[in-house]
Chain A
Amino acid sequence: MTKMTRRQALGTIGAAAAAATLPAMPALAADRSIRHFWWGNPERDRRTFDVIDVFQKAHSGIEVSGETIGWGDYWTKMATQTAGKNMADLVQMDYRFLFEYVRRGALLPLDEHIGNGLDLSNFDKGPLSGGMVDGKLYALNIGSNSQVVPYNARLFDEAGIDADVINWTHEEFAAVCEQITSKTGVKGSDDNSLMIESMEAWARQNGRDFYDADGNVSATAEDVAGYWQYWADLRDAGVVTDKNMTVILDKPMSESGIVTGASAMSLYWSNQLVAVQSLMSDPIGAAMVAHKTGGGYGQFIKPSMFMSLTRDAKDVEAAIMYMNDWINAPDATSIIGLERGIPANPDVRAALAPSFTPAEKLSVDYFNAIQDKVGPLPLPAPKGAGEVRDNFMRTGTEVVLGNMDVKEAAALFIDDAQSIVDRAR
């Protein structure tokens, strides 16, 4: 190695330091710049950066810097940036946090831009209304999804299952679990005892949303006890995965039963079907969460992600331009595909259809099949809902481990849930 002079060495270090900070800084050449912040995964990040490239080519002079982080840290960083009055111009928003951010004045309404930079003439009305707060549009739907029960189609074939997996009931689901376990030796399903979204679907089938319009808990201890008892029976029958797997919380997808081969069914959101399939060699199918005979609809179609404009946006016009391309420009939408959920623009869906992979086709077919079997979108959950979810998993763990009686645990959970939302007010 040749020796460097002190000056050269310092110069190199300086250049390296400058290069390291570069991606975070807008390039000096562009006179306009916007920041886009989203939670992602490697696949989503790749697609989003590609969209950014395409946008920058189409609109020279506008520099877009993308910032991405996993879901777990996203809201921490977002809250920190909000507190520091340094939010990105455009942020990815989730239904459960939308009201909170709007009420605190962190987001700007989009209404004045509609038809004036933001073209929504070709946008489904249902998905659009999910982003309204107090009559104004604060969040643009960039994909819809719903709950789904992905299943291992090979195991279903082997066990000779021919159930109607869209319309099936809890009794049929239990029978399928039993049949798969006895025929193939693989457990029928993951044990969903600790999945609050699935319990909420159960409560809706009984005619109650988990939270009422005032943000109080309206599901009852009987709803929760019924749910836990249903899974306890399956557990006792040995047709769902072992309790040791169940009590590991918030497992990565790669450790779910369907992917590891420990079970034939898991529980996910429909935009994740593509990701589940990519981790498996067996083909998968998509089933609905089982229904209650004569009960209400448990599932609903939900905006999987939104894009919102923040109060810290400096170049609103450029940000709206980017947002508009995101939902309308064919070269952007073809990159985004279905990864964030089903797009709300029918032309975009039609343009994507010819190049679908089997898993993408599966998720669109599933989405179409459930359209008239879902209830209305419930109001966003109140503050504290995230903590209620944690409490549900915690109390449920005691039930799964057999440390607590089902009825007693359900009553305790409902009490706790109400005091959590009270405290969060």
Chain B
Amino acid sequence: MKKFFARNAPGYVFLTPWFIGFFFLALGPILASLYLSFTRYDMVADPRWVGLDNYAYMFEKDRRFWKALEVTFTYVALAVPARLIMALGVAMLLDKGLRTIGLYRAIFYLPSLLGSSIAIAILWRQLFSADGVVNQVLANFGIQGAAWISNPDTSLYTLVVLAMWQFGSPMLIFLAGLRGIPRDLYEAAEIDGTSKRRQFFRITLPLLAPVIFFNLVLQTIEAFKTFSSAFIISNGTGAPADSLLFYTVYLFNEAFKFFRMGYASALAWVLLLIIGFFTAVSFFTSKYWVHYENERD
């Protein structure tokens, strides 16, 4: 034990700001929300203990809770792979050793910095509205575009496209990972006459697995927490017809629009369990598909 701390001391020192923030700022509210999830609390009157009622209502009666889960899961299933593929593709292009690589990295990272902002969500709404830019461009090719955002069948996909476009941070991590792959492996493969395609599947992907795993976990958590874009594009309502009712949008509305703080806290804890579950699944299955270079077995 002593040895463990001695070895890791610098790490803990660097973590102190986070620990201070966690113990003094975050822990209290987290525990309070756990307590509130067993109460009925409208922020004006005092909280009233209701036991497991909130959770029971959620699973047994609340149709919108299930709808929110459906929307969120669909989004996660589409947006995470789409974003990762996009990020890996761009990272591989940039890995070709261009001279102005720094500039390109910055340019490609830009959408991710902007992406979480309110301005981009508003821009997205303008782009994809019935008479928006996208449809005007399509009209030039004689295609009659749909009302992307006001049609419940397509509104979610506009957000998946937005997610794809925000590939910056996984891209940077992929880029670092690609740089870490020893060049001699590719040279050896070239000499053996291995095709580029085969090099990708036999060298790049396996050696990149730890990085892919890292990105997958991070992006999945991120995707479950998507809020601002859906909130802005649907004016905070999840409309049309609840097709943009992301879990977090529903949670926000329950808490701050209908003042059901207790119920919203319960929703928050269920979301935490869901994210925890998927992270755990990724970790436990990772040994079958993630191989670390310095592993000895």
Contact = CB atoms under 8 A, between A and B. Distances in A.
A393 B241 CA distance: 8
B236 A72 contact: yes
Interface in A23-68: none
A248 B256 contact: no
A106 B242 contact: no
A192 to B, nearest CB: 16
A249 B44 contact: no
Contact of B43 (A79, A248, A397): A79
A247 B147 CA distance: 11
A415 to B, nearest CB: 12
Contact of B239 (A72, A82, A393): A393
Interface string B234-274: 11110111100000000001001111000000000000000
Main secondary structure of the interface of A (DSSP, over half): helix
B133 to A, nearest CB: 16
Nearest to A104: B44
A181 B124 CA distance: 31
Given A79-B259, A244-B151, A100 B44 contact: yes
Contacts, number: 68
Contacts of B241: 247, 394, 397-398, 401, 403
B150 A393 contact: no
Given A248-B150, A387-B258, A401-B152, A393 B237 contact: yes
A76 interface: yes
B150 A247 contact: yes
Interface residues of B, number: 24
Interface residues of A, number: 30
Nearest to B239: A249
Nearest to A424: B258
A242 interface: yes
Interface in B119-159: 129-130, 147, 149-152
A390 interface: yes
A249 B256 CA distance: 18
A338 B257 CA distance: 29
B44 A79 contact: yes
A393 B235 CA distance: 13
A11 interface: no
Interface of B: 42-45, 129-130, 147, 149-152, 234-237, 239-242, 253, 256-259
Interface of A: 72, 76, 79-80, 82-83, 100-101, 104, 106, 242-245, 247-251, 384, 386-387, 390, 393-394, 397-398, 401, 403, 424
